[in-house]
């Protein structure tokens, strides 16, 4: 059974790296939405 540490494919980044990347992109998206709310929110 694959574990969270399983490489996505030989030569491809491991799960942890992909997870960090996806979460980092989402964090940026959420921060942008947060800034939008903070600047213009009611």
Partner 1 sequence: MHPINWIIVVAYIAYVVFDGLRRSKGTDTVDGYFLANKSLPWWAVGLSVMATQLSAVTMIGTTGQGATDGLRFVQFYFGLPLAMVVLGVTLVPFLHGAKVYTAYEYLERRFDPQTRSLTSLLFLLSRGMSCGGIMAAPAVVFSAVFGWDVTWAVALIGIPTVLYTMIGGVQAVAWADVKQMALIVLALLATVIVLLVRMPVGADDALRIAGSTGRLDVFDFSFTLTNDYTFWSGIIGGTFLMLSYFGTDQSQVQRYLTARSVDEARSSLLMSAYWKIPLQALVLLVGVLVFVYYQFQTPPLLYNPAHEAQVRAARGPEYEELERRYAAAFESREIAARTVADAGAAAAGPALTTFLAREAEVGTIRDDALAMAAEVTGGNSRDVNYIIPRFVLSELPIGLTGLFIAGVLAAAMSSIAAELNSLSSVTVIDFYRRWIRDDAPDAHFLRVSKWATAFWGLFACAVATYAATLDSLIVAVNRFGSFFYGSILGVFLLAMARRARGSGAFAGLIAGMTAVGFVAYAYPSVSWLWHNVIGAVTVFVVGMAVSAMTPERA
Minimum distance, C-beta of residue 32 to partner 1, in the bound complex (Å): 9
Per-residue tokens: 9: 């494919």
Q: Is 14 exposed, middle or buried (0-12, 13-18, 19+ CB in 10 A)?
A: middle
By CB under 8 A, the residues from 1 to 42 that bind partner 1 are: 1-4, 6, 8-9, 12, 15, 18-19, 22-23, 25-26, 29-30, 33-34, 36-37, 39-42
Residues 6+ apart with CB under 8 A from 18: 8
Minimum distance, C-beta of residue 6 to partner 1, in the bound complex (Å): 6
Task: Check residue 6 and report its DSSP letter.
Answer: -
Interaction site with partner 1 (CB under 8 A): 1-4, 6, 8-9, 12, 15, 18-19, 22-23, 25-26, 29-30, 33-34, 36-37, 39-42
């Amino acid at each position: 059974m694959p574990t969270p540490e399983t490489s996505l494919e030989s030569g491809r980044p491991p799960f942890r790296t992909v997870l960090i990347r996806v979460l980092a992109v989402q964090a940026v998206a959420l921060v942008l939405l947060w800034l939008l709310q903070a600047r213009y929110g009611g």
